[in-house]
């Protein structure tokens, strides 16, 4: 399993940039695509053969609830894991990228443990490994099934990928999905896989900053773009399609409603595109409920993810499951149930 934060269609657009403004970025994007495409092809073949990570059995309770972080340095090569440069309880080093990865992994562990009662991505407190300085000007970050991997960015369009906590939370959440529902990374189940990672990426950031729903940006990857780009982030959960609008890299193509659903074979059936629809449903539900989003809407989404969800669940199936989780947790006539139902209806997903 390999899930990257920057979608292939955005890298392709950057790779086509022909002016001097983003010349180095175009070359870096081409290298990133050449690196990613073979791995993406392998993943697609695995999907066709039905190969995926099976959901875990119930976790065994452990007395050790501390994080176990190790950060490695790939030295701008693509061999993993790289050289170990910082381990749990060690002092900060003279590399901001290493320290950001270490701190970000700790924030994610704290969020899942304290807010959701889950120890690490597998529920058994598996070590959290991250590799920085992957590749040369590599324009992405990804979860490879066992670790986080961060590129440094090209310096023209993207800065370093460790700088965004929502990116680290997003990628680690792919590991949570891998070890629970195992949502197939294709079509609507793949878009849900991406959306769930955006949900928990946003919640990790809000939890760490102590932000209530109405004070949050609801942006994923805020700060990744350099000042040369007309854009706020990779995605906006609250307003899909508005995260960036630049004359070179184009406009954010995410739909915010089922009326704009994109049927395509690219991007594994539009997993990064159509994830905007469930993203907005969650953000609307969280804002309707107010307060800390991780305490109400977040626990409903987590209960849905860990409650025996089929691996090829579509939007209607997931929406229905979140409504059922809200009823189970809070009751039929609860504000939580009403907010979840209205959130889905507002984006055109009506499940009866």
Residues marked active site are found at 171, 272
Of the candidates 127, 178, 132, which has an alpha carbon nearest to the alpha carbon of residue 1? 178
Label each residue of the chain as H, E or C: CCEECCCHHHHHHHHCCCCHHHHHHHHHHHHHHHHHHHHHHHHHHHHHCCCCCCCCCCCCCCCCCCCCEEEEECCCCCCCCCEEEEECCCCCCCCHHHHHHHHHHHHHHHHHHHHHCCCCCCCCCCCEEEEECCCCCCCCEEECCCCEEECCCCCCCECCHHHCHHHHHHHHHHHHHHCCCCCCCCHHHHHHHHHHHHHHHHHHHHHHHCCCHHHCCCEECCCCECCCCCECCCEECCCCCCCEEECCCEECCCCCCHHHCCCCCHHHHHCCCCCHHHHHHHHHHHHHHCCCHHHCHHHHHHHHHCCCCCCCCCHHHHHHHHHHHHHHHHCCCCHHHHHHHHHHHHCCCCCC
What are the backbone angles phi and psi of residue 294, rounded to the nearest 5°?
-70, -20
CA angle 33, 205, 208 (to 5 degrees): 140
- Phi, psi of 141, rounded to the nearest 5 degrees: -140, 145
């Amino acid at each position: 399993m390999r899930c990257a934060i920057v979608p292939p269609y955005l890298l392709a657009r950057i790779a086509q940039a022909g002016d001097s403004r983003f010349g180095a970025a175009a070359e870096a994007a081409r290298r990133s695509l050449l690196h990613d495409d073979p791995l993406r092809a392998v993943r697609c073949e695995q999907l066709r053969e039905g190969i995926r990570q099976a959901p875990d059995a119930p976790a065994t309770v452990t007395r050790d609830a501390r994080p176990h972080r190790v950060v490695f340095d790939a030295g701008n090569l693509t061999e993993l894991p790289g050289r170990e440069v910082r381990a749990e309880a060690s002092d900060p080093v003279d590399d901001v990228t290493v320290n950001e990865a270490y701190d970000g992994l700790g924030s994610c562990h704290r969020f899942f443990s304290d807010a959701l009662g889950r120890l690490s991505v597998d529920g058994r407190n598996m070590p959290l490994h991250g590799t920085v300085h992957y590749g040369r000007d590599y324009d992405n970050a990804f979860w490879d099934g066992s670790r986080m991997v961060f590129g440094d960015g090209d310096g023209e369009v993207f800065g370093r990928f460790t700088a965004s906590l929502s990116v680290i939370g997003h990628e680690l959440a792919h590991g949570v999905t891998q070890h629970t529902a195992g949502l197939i990374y294709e079509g609507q189940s793949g878009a849900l896989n991406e959306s769930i990672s955006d949900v928990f990426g946003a919640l990790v950031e809000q939890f760490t900053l102590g932000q209530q729903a109405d004070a949050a940006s609801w942006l994923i990857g805020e700060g990744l773009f350099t000042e040369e780009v007309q854009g706020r982030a990779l995605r906006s959960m609250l307003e899909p399609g508005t995260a960036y609008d630049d004359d070179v890299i184009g406009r954010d193509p995410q739909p915010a409603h089922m009326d704009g659903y994109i049927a395509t074979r690219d991007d594994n059936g539009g997993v990064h595109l159509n994830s905007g629809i469930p993203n907005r449903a969650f953000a609307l539900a969280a804002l309707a409920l107010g307060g800390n989003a991780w305490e109400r809407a977040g626990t409903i989404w987590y209960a849905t993810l860990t409650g025996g969800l089929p691996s090829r669940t579509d939007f209607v199936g997931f929406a229905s499951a979140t409504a059922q989780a809200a009823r189970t947790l809070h009751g039929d006539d609860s504000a939580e149930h009403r907010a979840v139902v209205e959130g889905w209806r507002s984006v055109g997903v009506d499940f009866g």
